[in-house]
Amino acid sequence: MDVQLGRIRFIRGENDGKYPFNHSVYLEGKDCRVVLDPSCSLQKLTDLKQRDGVDQVWLSHWHEDHIGFLNLFDGCGLRISESDFPPLTDMEIFLDWYGIQEKNLREFWKNVMLNHFHYRPRREALFLQDEDVIDLGSLKVQVIATPGHTPGHLSFFFPGEAILFLGDYDLTSFGPWYGDLYSSIEQTIASIHKLKSIPARGWIASHNTGLFQENPGKLWDDYENVIYQREERILHFLTEPKTLEEIAAAWLIYGRPREPKDFFEFNERALVVKHIEYLEKNGKIIPDENRYTKIC
Could you read off the pLDDT of 204-227 as tens digits, one per residue? 999 999 999 999 999 999 999 999
Could you tell me which of 60, 34, 57, 21 has the C-alpha nearest to residue 155? Answer: 60
User: What H or E segment, with its residue span, contains residue 3?
Assistant: strand 3-5
The CATH number covering residue 139 comes to 3.60.15.10
What is the domain range of residue 33? Answer: 3-219
Tell me: do 215 and 247 sit in the same domain.
no
Tell me: do 260 and 157 sit in the same domain.
no
Does any domain span residue 187?
Answer: yes
Does any domain span residue 133?
Answer: yes
Tell me: do 65 and 196 sit in the same domain.
yes
Checking if the pLDDT of 296 tops 80, the result is no
Q: In the listed set 165, 184, 219, which residue is the last one of a domain according to the structure?
A: 219
CA distance 60 to 259: 28
> What was the pLDDT predicted at 261?
87
Does any domain span residue 124?
Answer: yes
Beta bridge partners of 212: 203
> What was the pLDDT predicted at 62?
98
Q: In the listed set 171, 191, 219, which residue is the last one of a domain according to the structure?
A: 219
Tell me: do 71 and 124 sit in the same domain.
yes
Tell me: do 51 and 15 sit in the same domain.
yes
Does any domain span residue 195?
Answer: yes
Tell me: do 139 and 189 sit in the same domain.
yes
Tell me: do 123 and 9 sit in the same domain.
yes
Average pLDDT in the 130-136 region? 98
> Using one digit for the tens of pLDDT, what is the confidence trace for 12-29?
999 999 999 999 999 999
Tell me: do 163 and 19 sit in the same domain.
yes
In this prediction, residue 270 has a pLDDT band, given cuts at 50, 70 and 90, of very high
Q: In the listed set 184, 219, 254, which residue is the last one of a domain according to the structure?
A: 219
Angle at the Cα of 183 (from 235 to 221), degrees rounded to 5?
60
> What was the pLDDT predicted at 249?
97
Mean pLDDT of the chain: 97
Does any domain span residue 231?
Answer: no
> Is residue 181 a contact partner of residue 99, using CB atoms and an 8 Å limit?
yes
In this prediction, residue 113 has a pLDDT band, given cuts at 50, 70 and 90, of very high
Does any domain span residue 225?
Answer: no
> What was the pLDDT predicted at 272?
98
Tell me: do 183 and 279 sit in the same domain.
no
Calculate Rg over the CA atoms of the chain: 20
Tell me: do 102 and 60 sit in the same domain.
yes
Tell me: do 42 and 137 sit in the same domain.
yes
Could you tell me which of 268, 264, 295, 267 has the C-alpha nearest to residue 282? Answer: 295
Number of structural domains, the chain?
2
Does any domain span residue 159?
Answer: yes
Tell me: do 181 and 251 sit in the same domain.
no
CA distance 20 to 185: 23
Does any domain span residue 224?
Answer: no
Instruction: Convert 242-280 into a string of H (helix), E (strand) and C (coil).
Output: EEHHHHHHCCCCCCCCCCCHHHHHHHHHHHHHHHHHHHH
